[in-house]
Chain A
Amino acid sequence: MMQQLAMQQMASEPLLKVENLVVEYAVGGRTVHAVSDVSLDIARGETLGLVGESGCGKSTLGRAVLQLRQAVSGKVLFDGHDLTAMHGDALRRMRRRVQLIFQDPIASLNPRRRIGDIVAEPLVISGVKDPDKRRQAVHDVLAAVGLDPALVVNRLPHEFSGGQCQRICIARALVLNPDFVICDEPVSALDVSIRAQILNLLEEMKARYGLTLLFIAHDLAVVKAVSDRVAVMYLGRLCEVGPSEQLFATPAHPYTALLLEAIPVPDPDVRPTESVAVGEPPSPIAPPSGCRFRTRCPRADARCAAEVPELRTVAPGQSAACHHPLI
C-alpha cells in the first residue's frame, strides 16, 4: 500500500515539463516564430500526441526539448532537471535517457555502415567499452523490434525496405534503454500496410521498455491510435490539449474541429463536406496578431485580433486557447 502510494506520487510528477518555451529562427534578417510560449507536461508512461500541419513548429518543439535547438526563453524540465541550463557532459549524460526517431528511416541511417555498427553506435558514444556487452545489447534490441539479429547485423541499410529501416532506427533509439522517446512523424514515409506494423511495434516497445513518448505527426488518426493525450499546434502556438478520446469527440478549439473535418473518411456513405477549410496558414514570419488562427476561423471577431487567448480549462483535463471555444 505504501509502495503503491509512493509509485502514484512518482507517477503524478511529470517526466517532462515544458514551460513557456520560445524558439525563433533568423531567416534573411527576419524572425520565424517557430514555437511561441508553449507549455506542456508529459506524465511518466504516457504518450502525448502532438499534431499540426507542416510549419506549425511541432518538429522544432521536439528538437528544442532535446536541446538540438536553442530556445530563446523558457524551460525544459526533464525528470526535474532543466535541460536548457545544462551543457557539455551533464547534457550528454541526460540525453542518453532521451532518444529521437525520425520521419525518413532510410535517410537517417548511414548508408555505408553495417546495421550492427549503426545500432551499437549509441553504446560506443555512451562509453560501453566491452564489445561482448555491446554485441549482446544490439542482439537483444534487434530481436525485440522483430528483426533476426544474425541475418541483419552485417548488412547495409540499402538492403532493407523502409519499414525494416524504421525498425532499425527504433532499435538504435532503444539500445540505451531510454526513458523518453520523441517520435517525429515515424510512420508518414511508410505505406499503409507497413504503417500499422510500426505503430503496433511502438506500442509494444513502449510497454516492454516502460517508455514515455512524445509522438509528433500530422495525421490525426495515427496520433489517436497511440496517444493518451493529444496536443494540437497551429503556427507555433498550442491550441488545445486533452485526453485523446475526449478531444476527438468534443473538440473545443475551432482549429481542432477543422482538422477533424478535413480528414477523408474511408466510407463512401460519408459525403465529404464542401471546403470547411478556408485559406491557408499564414507565414510564421509575420503571424497574425492575437489568436494566430483567427484569419481562417469562422468564429473570429475583434477580440481575437487584439488579445492572445490563453490556454484555459474547458472540460476536465481538456484546455483550449480560444476566446470562443466550441464547448
Chain B
Amino acid sequence: MSGALLSVQDAVVDLPTPRGNLRAVDHVDLSVGAGRTLGIVGESGCGKTMLSRAILQLLPKKAKLSGRVMFDGQDLPQLSPEKLRKLRGQSLAVVFQDPMTSLNPVLTIGTQLIETIQEHLELDLAEARKRSIELLAAVGIPAPEQRLAQYPHQLSGGMRQRVAIAIALSCEPKLLIADEPTTALDVTIQAQILDLLAREQQRRHMAMIIITHDLGVVAGRTDEVAVMYAGRVVERAPTPALFKQMRMPYTEALLAALPKLDAAPHTPLPAISGRPPDPTRPLKGCSFAPRCRYAAGRCNTEKPALSAAETPEHVYACFHPIETRARVEA
C-alpha cells in the first residue's frame, strides 16, 4: 500500500436506523495508486456508494465512520471542515449518477464552472471564464461559449453529465470518483462519456474510481476491480485476472447472470436465487452463503477473511473458492 494516492484502511460505516444499526461498509481495505483506475462493482445496497461517501467525507451526519482514509499523505477523517473543503474539488473530485441533481438548476453552467474554478484556483474572472470555455470544449460540448449562459435544464442528460465532468476536472484533481456516471444515460451516450473519462484520466494522469453495477463498464476501462457484497469487498484483483480467474462464487454468479449478446435467444439465464441479506441483520457466516451454490459447513457459521490467491494482488473472501480450470470444465 506504500506510495498509494488513496488508501482506505479497515473502514467501517454504521448508520443508525429505526430497525437497528445498519452496517453499510464492513471493514473495507482499498488503495489506488496515482494515475490508476479502480472499479468498484456491486448491486444496490452493497455499500459502494457509502464507501465513496466515506472517502469524500460526505457521509450523512448520523453515520459513524471508523478506520483510516489516507489521501495524499493525510488522514481525511482527522481534517478540519475547512481543510476538507479546500481538498475536495481541488485534488479530490466527484461525478455523480444524476447530473440534474448535482447541478444547481437555477444557476447557469458558466456560473457553476467559474465559481468552482475561482474557489480553488487564484484566477480572475476573465481567466476563469477562458478556462471554463476550454474545459467545456475538452469534454466535447459544442459551442462552449454559448453554453456558459445556459441553465442545466436546457441541456440533454449526456451534455449535463459532460458539464458535471468539466466541473470535476476544473482544478486538475488527483483523484476523480465517478459514482455510476453513466447509469442515467442511454447506451450510445454512455459509450461517449466512458471514453471521455478514460481520455481525460490518461491525459491528466489522474487516478479514478469508477463505481458501477455493470461489470461491462469496468471490464475494458480499469486496472483493478473490487467486487462488493453486503458491505464487504469480497474479491479484488487486477482486471484481467478477475475476469479470467474469478475465485469468489458471487463474482462468477454476477457475471453469469448477465444476458450475453452472443447467447442464443431463450437461453435460460443462470440467475442468483434469493436476494442480498438485510443489512440491519448481519449474518454470522459468509453473507453470500444463503445464495451460493458452493456453500457448505462453516460458510454459515464463520466469516471468510480476504485472502490471497496465486498472486498477492488477487484477494477473495471465500472458503470454497472456484478452482479455476477444474470448475470451469466440470
Contact = CB atoms under 8 A, between A and B. Distances in A.
A161 B275 contact: yes
Contacts of A262: 187-188, 190-191
Interface string B266-289: 111111110110000000000000
B213 interface: yes
The size bracket of the interface on B is 35 or more
Interface in A23-82: 53-54
A56 to B, nearest CB: 9
Interface stretch (A2-10, A132-140, A149-157, A267-275): A267-275
Contacts of A259: 187-188
A54 B156 CA distance: 11
Contact of B194 (A54, A222, A264): A264
Contacts of A193: 43, 253-254, 257, 271-272, 275-276, 291
Interface stretch (A83-91, A225-233, A305-313): A225-233
Interface in B187-203: 187-192, 194-195, 198
A109 B328 CA distance: 42
Contact of A226 (B239, B240, B257, B266): B266
Contacts of B217: 264
A153 B271 CA distance: 25
A191 interface: yes
Contact of A264 (B186, B190, B272, B275): B190
Given A53-B187, A218-B186, A262-B187, A272 B261 contact: no
Contact of B260 (A203, A221, A268, A280): A221
The size bracket of the interface on A is 35 or more
A39 to B, nearest CB: 23
A236 to B, nearest CB: 15
B263 A224 contact: yes
A276 interface: yes
A163 interface: yes
Contacts, number: 142
Interface string B234-266: 000001100110000000011101111101111
Contacts of B254: 192-193
B221 interface: yes
A224 B43 contact: no
B65 interface: no
B159 interface: yes
A199 interface: yes
B265 A191 contact: no
A196 B271 contact: yes
Most buried by B among A218, A227, A267: A267
A295 interface: no
A202 B264 CA distance: 16
Contacts of B220: 264-265, 267-268, 270-272
A191 B43 contact: yes
Most buried by B among A263, A269, A272, A274: A272
Contact of A221 (B191, B221, B258, B275): B258
A266 B243 contact: yes
Contacts of B273: 197
A191 B192 contact: no
Contact of B43 (A192, A272, A280): A192
Nearest to B158: A280
Contact of A277 (B44, B189, B213, B268): B189
21 contacts: A54-B186, A163-B275, A191-B43, A191-B213, A192-B215, A193-B272, A193-B275, A195-B257, A196-B259, A196-B271, A196-B272, A197-B271, A197-B272, A200-B268, A225-B260, A259-B187, A262-B191, A263-B187, A265-B219, A272-B191, A277-B191
Query: Which 7 A-B pairs have CB atoms at the shortest separation, nearest pair first?
Result: A264-B216, A196-B271, A277-B188, A225-B259, A196-B269, A193-B272, A53-B186
Given A263-B187, A264-B220, 17 more contacts: A191-B44, A192-B43, A192-B213, A192-B254, A196-B270, A199-B259, A221-B259, A224-B261, A226-B265, A227-B265, A259-B187, A264-B194, A265-B216, A269-B240, A272-B194, A275-B192, A276-B191
